[in-house]
Chains A and B, each alone.
Chain A
Amino acid sequence: MQYFQNTNIDFVGKRKFFTIFSTILNIIGIVLTIFLPPQLGIDFKGGAEIAFEFNKDVKISDLRSNLEKANIRGLELKSFGAANQFLVRVPEIETGPDKVTNILQQSYSDQFNIIKIDKIGPKIGSEMFIKALWAVLLAMIAMMIYIAFRFEFVYGVGAIIAIVHDVIVTFGIILIVHHLGILDLEVNQGFIAGILTVVGYSVNDTVIIFDRIRENREKHKGLHFAKMVNLSINETLSRTINTTATTIGVLVILIFFGGPVLQGFAFIMFIGIIVGTYSSVFIASNYVIWYNTERKSVIKDNPSLNTVK
């Protein structure tokens, strides 16, 4: 079986269109982040979460009115995974969770079961947040250095442009999904892990296309650079589609069967991999092409910039 054979789709020809399109997407993503601030999970802002399940049907509105009796400051209630499972969040970790369990005890006596309690002090939370940001930043720098070392510096820059693009666009989509109430996607440790995996995955995609460009530069020396990039993308298209298909398949399975804890993570990766695949094909090479064609005419005297190592 084979989807494509010797395709010659012009991916590169419309690069100006895709560059503008992605730039707009990124601007939307940044604007969204400013106006629809992401919800930080207790991992990062501190607070307590209590998840519990009832062994009978309980309406969330009834539960809410019962909980409101306790008058706990900043209490949030949402459903958690399966039916009759709920999650309550309170910002105060010392007495808050006990107040919640007390009120549950009063209203439902033995008909509920605590399935999880998390309490994170604010200091630990902010520490984790700072560490996570460092991790993202360091991972990007390390990958850029690796690609610059294995290919050329321009390729490293191209890959980083694609990564930043993926992070911003994925983040924007997730914000929309979260605020529309489709899925509960708050920024917690799993979120960061998801985004970082997207970054790793997208770089992998990009590197495989770059690898083909590296090889084709040797093989087709006379070919115009942009055409050669297009050829490389076409040659790797089959792989791109197959790998994306299997990974997306696995992630869809995780979203539906992985349980409430994995669901958010899998969804982030699902969005991220679609965005990442798009950027590997349509965005990552654009900077390299621009550098090699338009800039080359400016610095023709310096051929060393365009040699293959």
Chain B
Amino acid sequence: MKNNIGKIALIIIVVAAVIVVMYPSYNASNLETKLKDYQARAKKAGNPEDSLKIMEEFKKTYGADLESAKRNQLKLGLDLRGGMYVTMEVDVVKLIEESAQRESIDEIFTEVLDKTREEVKTSDQEAIDIFLKHFNNIARPKGKTLISYFDVADIRDASEEEIISKLRKDAGDAIDQAVEVIRQRVDQFGVAEPNIQKQGNSRIILELPGVEDDTQMRALISTTARLEFNLVRNNADIVRAFAKIDKYLAEKNGVFKKEKSDSLAVQKDTTKITNDTTNITKNDTLKSDTTKKDTNNPYEGLSEQQIQEKHYREHPFTSLFATYYVPEGENANWMPFYYINDQIPEVGEFNFRISKDSLAKFLEILNRPDIKTFIPLDLKIAIGAKPDPRVLKQNKVEIFDFYCVKREPELTGDVIVDASQSFDPTTNAPVVNMTMNDEGSEKWARITGANLKKRIAIVLDDRVYSAPVVQTKITGGRSQISGSSNVEEARLLEVILKAGALKAPVKIVEERVVGPSLGQDSINAGITASIIAFLFVILYMIMYYNAGGIVADISVLINISLIVAILTSMKGTLTLPGIAGIVLTMGMAVDANVLIFERIREELAKGRSLRSAIDEGFSKALSAILDGNITTGITAFILMTLGTGPIQGFATTLLIGILTTLFTAIIISRAIIEIVISNGATQFSFGQPKVQA
């Protein structure tokens, strides 16, 4: 009996573990249905403002739950949920061509490049290696060396090895940069749960669930990014424009007219805006203002609550973000700025910060045609590329800087020859060194000279990666950018700056788009097939092995649940070939049980007692089960490591299936049989014909 408790516990633990692992998937699908309801309501609402409001309500009530459930749910492959799968490749040959000094390129070099390009098409070797092979075969006998064509930025007497390693590093940077650009664009496009990753040294894999419009997406990911240097104009002009937007919106909402009569409407309005407010504005609400003894203070004599409400009501736009005023002078402190009156300081600078939650509403307002007119024609708003790492680490909120920059760039990235991340020798802080060509250096000297102590934003694809303050007039084209908060940030800046220098186009080499209807059809077909197959197996086993068959069926059922649970907890993806793997495991899992039961029958036929026949049956069948499953496992393992896409999905579930089959057939089946016979049963039907005594 004691033994039994252990066995029962084992089965319960396995079942419980499966339930625990699978619960998020169940929860996520429930919440997704709710999300669809909300989305339908938001669509009905008609105007973008109300739609945003409905979606925010959902986010508030279920957002966190859905997010955590989604993180832990079973992920479905694109073939099941629909979406776009893209493999992109950096044209390394083009990169090599662009890296060579233009004036030194001759027929020999062109021949080497042509040969390389031809071979790259079919070879799976790295392009740089192929280039070197052809270079050694063609150019070297003619007395050329790599040094004849490449000039590594600063190193005067660069060795061959240095040139090669520089080319390799550039190729790697080109990929990193493409990944960064594509990630930003895909994020802005609003793809949910995109998966963007590097594969090897020259490829990027994109998995974009739910994307159907492949033409638009293709254009989005394959246009080359533009790197620009724009002057930052965070000055009184833009603050005035923001104040005007506030007034316009508030008037449009009827705040000033109805203020007293329609308190209900006001109430409604307030709650809405409070939801949108960023953490920072919440923290810096007008507390400081109440202490300010300003004669013009319109908030005189109001409670804190009322002040907040009134402020949000009257400032529907500027309360979305936080504004700071920085007076002129070294190390001036940032002071919160509130747009409460028309007194806007003309000297000094402003800083704007916005939380990710408010960003959608902020951009929605800014993009309205009637609002666009408020922003001076020569200016545009550019959002920082990454959230403030310090705030993110401490408070887990994503706060972005945004900048008002001059619409026309001062300089474009093609003047950059090289960029490299290093450390400041004195402070040991991460810095990025940037080198420009002669033409660029000349302009750069003029620009920096004219904008001392001003900020210049480094903008790629309308996202600001850094906005350093010009310290001195920079002549000679070598600049050092400091102020990165960590090495990763500096490294990213290096990669981004190279966007100008590296002209390595990224092209699509593989693309698969699965429409949502096919995905749904495949899921349905997969589920139907699995259920029918399972029923078939259940009936067959019961028919042939009677009680033993029931045991086998329970064990196969646990087996299937275990496969799905293990796949979920491994953060694996279930694909259609994966379902095929599961269905197949079902067939093979039966095999292990069949082997055992056939053995038990044989032993029973020899006249053994039930107990010892079971013992013998399990132990004798073990070697066959092990050998059979290990050989199949070897195939599955090789498929998993060498295969791509569909083959891999199939092999992964097959391999998990083999492990769970061994576990369930040898341990679970046996435990069930032993629990049954330990209750005093002397008969247990394995479907064997009645033995004549």
Residues of A bordering B, CB below 8 Å: 1-2, 5, 51, 53, 81-82, 93, 98, 113-124, 126-128, 130-132, 134-135, 138-139, 142-143, 146-147, 150, 189-190, 192-193, 196-197, 199-201, 203-205, 207-208, 210-212, 214-215, 235-236, 238-239, 242-243, 245-247, 249-251, 253-254, 257-259, 261-262, 265-266, 269
Contact indicator per residue, chain B 482-526, by CB within 8 Å of chain A (1) or not (0): 000000000000000000000000001111111101100110111
Please report whether the interface of chain B is mostly helix, strand, loop or mixed according to DSSP. Answer: helix
Of the candidates A115, A118, A127, A150, the one having the most CB atoms from chain B within 10 angstroms of its own CB is A115
With A116-B518, A146-B630, A203-B632 already in contact, the answer to whether A250 and B537 are too (CB < 8 A) is yes
Q: Is the CB of B518 within 8 A of A204?
A: no
Residues of B bordering A, CB below 8 Å: 79, 87, 120-122, 124, 214-215, 508-515, 517-518, 521-522, 524-526, 528-529, 532-533, 536-537, 540-541, 543-544, 546, 576-577, 579-580, 583-584, 586-588, 590-591, 594-595, 598, 601-602, 605, 620, 623-624, 627-632, 634-636, 638-639, 642-647, 650-651, 654, 687-689
Q: Is the CB of B586 within 8 A of A150?
A: no
Please report whether the interface of chain A is mostly helix, strand, loop or mixed according to DSSP. Answer: helix
**What residues of B have a CB within 8 angstroms of the CB of A150 in the complex?**
627
In the assembly, what is the distance between CA of A243 and CA of B540, in Å? 11
Q: Is the CB of B543 within 8 A of A249?
A: no
In the assembly, what is the distance between CA of A134 and CA of B620, in Å? 36
In the assembly, what is the distance between CA of A247 and CA of B524, in Å? 21
| 4 nearest CB pairs, A to B | A259-B525, A247-B587, A121-B509, A200-B635
In the assembly, what is the distance between CA of A265 and CA of B529, in Å? 14
Residue of A nearest to B507 (CB): A121
Residue from A201, A212, A250 within 8 A of B536 (CB atoms): A250
With A114-B515, A199-B635 already in contact, the answer to whether A250 and B646 are too (CB < 8 A) is no
Of the candidates B214, B546, B601, B638, the one having the most CB atoms from chain A within 10 angstroms of its own CB is B638
In the assembly, what is the distance between CA of A121 and CA of B587, in Å? 36
Residue from B532, B586, B627, B646 within 8 A of A193 (CB atoms): B646
**What residues of B have a CB within 8 angstroms of the CB of A135 in the complex?**
638-639, 642-643, 647
With A1-B687, A118-B512, A246-B590 already in contact, the answer to whether A262 and B526 are too (CB < 8 A) is yes
Q: Is the CB of A254 within 8 A of B583?
A: yes
Residue of A nearest to B528 (CB): A257
Q: Is the CB of A253 within 8 A of B536?
A: yes
**What residues of B have a CB within 8 angstroms of the CB of A257 in the complex?**
525, 528-529, 532
Residue of B nearest to A190 (CB): B646
**What residues of B have a CB within 8 angstroms of the CB of A253 in the complex?**
529, 532-533, 536
**What residues of B have a CB within 8 angstroms of the CB of A134 in the complex?**
642
Q: Known A-B contacts: A117-B513, A253-B532. Give 19 more (CB < 8 A).
A: A53-B517, A115-B517, A116-B512, A124-B510, A139-B638, A142-B634, A143-B631, A200-B632, A201-B632, A204-B632, A211-B627, A243-B590, A250-B533, A250-B536, A250-B587, A257-B525, A259-B521, A262-B580, A269-B584
**What residues of A have a CB within 8 angstroms of the CB of B124 in the complex?**
127, 130
**What residues of A have a CB within 8 angstroms of the CB of B79 in the complex?**
261
**What residues of A have a CB within 8 angstroms of the CB of B588 in the complex?**
201, 204, 243, 247
In the assembly, what is the distance between CA of A142 and CA of B646, in Å? 22
**What residues of A have a CB within 8 angstroms of the CB of B525 in the complex?**
257-259, 262
In the assembly, what is the distance between CA of A149 and CA of B511, in Å? 44
Q: Is the CB of B634 within 8 A of A146?
A: yes
**What residues of B have a CB within 8 angstroms of the CB of A143 in the complex?**
631, 634-635
With A147-B631, A249-B533 already in contact, the answer to whether A197 and B594 are too (CB < 8 A) is no
Q: Is the CB of B624 within 8 A of A208?
A: yes
**What residues of A have a CB within 8 angstroms of the CB of B522 in the complex?**
259, 261
Q: Is the CB of A117 within 8 A of B512?
A: yes
Task: Determine how close the nearest CB of chain B comes to the CB of A184; give it in whole angstroms.
Answer: 17
**What residues of A have a CB within 8 angstroms of the CB of B595 in the complex?**
208, 239
Q: Is the CB of B643 within 8 A of A189?
A: yes
Residue from A210, A243, A258, A259 within 8 A of B594 (CB atoms): A243
In the assembly, what is the distance between CA of A190 and CA of B643, in Å? 11
In the assembly, what is the distance between CA of A142 and CA of B579, in Å? 26
Q: Is the CB of B576 within 8 A of A262?
A: yes
Residue of B nearest to A263 (CB): B525
Q: Is the CB of A239 within 8 A of B594?
A: yes
Q: Is the CB of B687 within 8 A of A116?
A: no
Residue of A nearest to B524 (CB): A259
**What residues of A have a CB within 8 angstroms of the CB of B586 in the complex?**
250
**What residues of A have a CB within 8 angstroms of the CB of B651 in the complex?**
193
Q: Is the CB of B628 within 8 A of A138?
A: no
16 pairs of residues in contact across A and B, judged by CB atoms under 8 Å: A114-B513, A115-B515, A116-B512, A118-B513, A131-B644, A146-B630, A193-B643, A204-B629, A211-B628, A238-B598, A249-B587, A253-B532, A257-B525, A258-B525, A259-B524, A259-B529
Residue of A nearest to B631 (CB): A203
In the assembly, what is the distance between CA of A204 and CA of B632, in Å? 7
Residue of A nearest to B212 (CB): A114
In the assembly, what is the distance between CA of A259 and CA of B529, in Å? 9
In the assembly, what is the distance between CA of A41 and CA of B3, in Å? 56
Residue from B514, B543, B587 within 8 A of A115 (CB atoms): B514
Q: Is the CB of B518 within 8 A of A211?
A: no
Task: Determine how close the nearest CB of chain A comes to the CB of B269; give it in whole angstroms.
Answer: 42
Task: Determine how close the nearest CB of chain A comes to the CB of B495; give it in whole angstroms.
Answer: 25
Q: Is the CB of B689 within 8 A of A235?
A: no
Q: Is the CB of B644 within 8 A of A128?
A: yes
Residue of B nearest to A258 (CB): B529
Residue of B nearest to A126 (CB): B122
In the assembly, what is the distance between CA of A118 and CA of B86, in Å? 10
Residue from B511, B546, B643 within 8 A of A131 (CB atoms): B643
Task: Determine how close the nearest CB of chain A comes to the CB of B652; give it in whole angstroms.
Answer: 12
Q: Is the CB of B533 within 8 A of A254?
A: yes
Task: Determine how close the nearest CB of chain B comes to the CB of A196; give it in whole angstroms.
Answer: 6
In the assembly, what is the distance between CA of A131 and CA of B200, in Å? 15
Q: Is the CB of A200 within 8 A of B587?
A: no
**What residues of B have a CB within 8 angstroms of the CB of A123 in the complex?**
120-122, 509
Q: Is the CB of B647 within 8 A of A250?
A: no
**What residues of B have a CB within 8 angstroms of the CB of A251 in the complex?**
587
Q: Is the CB of B647 within 8 A of A192?
A: yes
**What residues of B have a CB within 8 angstroms of the CB of A98 in the complex?**
215
Residue from B514, B580, B632 within 8 A of A266 (CB atoms): B580
With A119-B508, A239-B594, A239-B598 already in contact, the answer to whether A258 and B580 are too (CB < 8 A) is yes
**What residues of A have a CB within 8 angstroms of the CB of B620 in the complex?**
215
Q: Is the CB of B591 within 8 A of A138?
A: no
In the assembly, what is the distance between CA of A58 and CA of B669, in Å? 53
With A53-B517, A254-B529 already in contact, the answer to whether A197 and B642 are too (CB < 8 A) is no
Q: Is the CB of B584 within 8 A of A250?
A: yes
Q: Is the CB of B513 within 8 A of A2?
A: no
Residue of A nearest to B120 (CB): A123
In the assembly, what is the distance between CA of A126 and CA of B510, in Å? 12
**What residues of A have a CB within 8 angstroms of the CB of B509 in the complex?**
120-121, 123-124
Q: Is the CB of B533 within 8 A of A197?
A: no
**What residues of B have a CB within 8 angstroms of the CB of A243 in the complex?**
587-588, 590-591, 594
Task: Determine how close the nearest CB of chain B comes to the CB of A297; give it in whole angstroms.
Answer: 30
Residue of A nearest to B122 (CB): A126
In the assembly, what is the distance between CA of A138 and CA of B645, in Å? 19
**What residues of B have a CB within 8 angstroms of the CB of A199 in the complex?**
635
In the assembly, what is the distance between CA of A116 and CA of B214, in Å? 11
Residue from B580, B632, B645 within 8 A of A265 (CB atoms): B580
Q: Is the CB of A142 within 8 A of B510?
A: no
In the assembly, what is the distance between CA of A142 and CA of B521, in Å? 38
**What residues of A have a CB within 8 angstroms of the CB of B122 in the complex?**
122-123, 126
In the assembly, what is the distance between CA of A116 and CA of B516, in Å? 9
Q: Is the CB of A265 within 8 A of B577?
A: yes
Q: Is the CB of B510 within 8 A of A120?
A: yes
**What residues of B have a CB within 8 angstroms of the CB of A249 in the complex?**
533, 536-537, 540, 587
**What residues of B have a CB within 8 angstroms of the CB of A93 in the complex?**
511
In the assembly, what is the distance between CA of A128 and CA of B576, in Å? 19
Q: Is the CB of B689 within 8 A of A5?
A: yes
**What residues of B have a CB within 8 angstroms of the CB of A196 in the complex?**
635, 639
Q: Is the CB of A132 within 8 A of B624?
A: no
In the assembly, what is the distance between CA of A204 and CA of B661, in Å? 14
